[in-house]
Amino acid sequence: MADLLFNVRNSFYLGAYNTVINEAADLDNLNEVDSIERDCFVYRSYIALGSYDLVISEIRDSAATGLLAVKLLAQYLSNKKSKDDVMATLADWLGDSACNRNSMVLLVAGMIHAHEGNYPEALKACHGSNNLELQALCVQVYLKMDRPDKAEAQVKSMSAVDDDATLTQLATAWVGQALGGAKVQEAAYVYQELGEKYNYTASLYNGRAVCYMKMGRWEDADHDLQEAFNKDAKDPDTLSNLISVGLHLGKNVARYQTQLKMVAPTHPNSKRLEAADEAFARAAASIA
């Protein structure tokens, strides 16, 4: 039986969010379960593109649980709902047997807890599932915890479910980057193969660029990041990586620094830049 949502799902994982929105518009006559999954990917794509208000306004309070979870994610990321209210809602859902088996509820719970740095709770939400996206989130959490050994074991579990799946391939690359050595080159090949098999996205170019940076191939990294910038000039990871590579190559990165602070003020590099600006201003004031 054909997987009608394959292209939508796959495009989302590759970071081709506009493609998700466009392809989903042509998918009619789906059953209820597939319709909800399609809509979840569409609204998650809008979240990835920063269109939080659209998601919040379009998903009604009477929507399916999975969609309500996506709406909560938008409310959390846009600060339209207090952190306490978000956490209380998650606790209610995870304590409700009708909700706590819903993969989108578990995924959003894991994502929000991971964003808060509460890794044990994030793992509790996404651990022990055969769902590849939940397993991929586990991989990301383990890497944030500096446990590449655990992440590698999780990738083996993903491979047992579907070795050829895009998410399994991406998770393999993430772990390869963390392990270092020859694994970094293998990770670069993964991003290249996915780009050639489907289409290169800003996300894939960034992935390969990070590999090149780890290998000291700064010019190659810069080339990939310029390609990523051409795909999406507002992508925070692209801007952040362009700053890192530009500094190594002795380039003027002021434009990228300004853009990053504008499009992603909460990005870790934006916060570092802001702190540096404040320190410079204090030093200048003391000299004056």
pLDDT of residue 104: 97
Residue that is written with structure tokens 């994030």 in the block:
122
Instruction: Provide mean pLDDT across the span 221-249.
Output: 96
| Model confidence pLDDT, tens digit, residues 14-27 | 999 999 999 999 99
Q: What count of Cα atoms within 13 Å lies in the side-chain half-sphere of residue 187?
A: 27
Whole-structure pTM value: 0.91
Residue that is written with structure tokens 């780009």 in the block:
195
- Both structure tokens of 273: 């830049």
pLDDT of residue 266: 74
Q: How confident is the model at residue 135 (pLDDT cuts 50, 70, 90)?
A: very high
The proportion of the chain whose per-residue pLDDT surpasses 70, expressed as a percent, equals: 93
CA distance 34 to 138: 24
Higher pLDDT, 29 or 84: 84
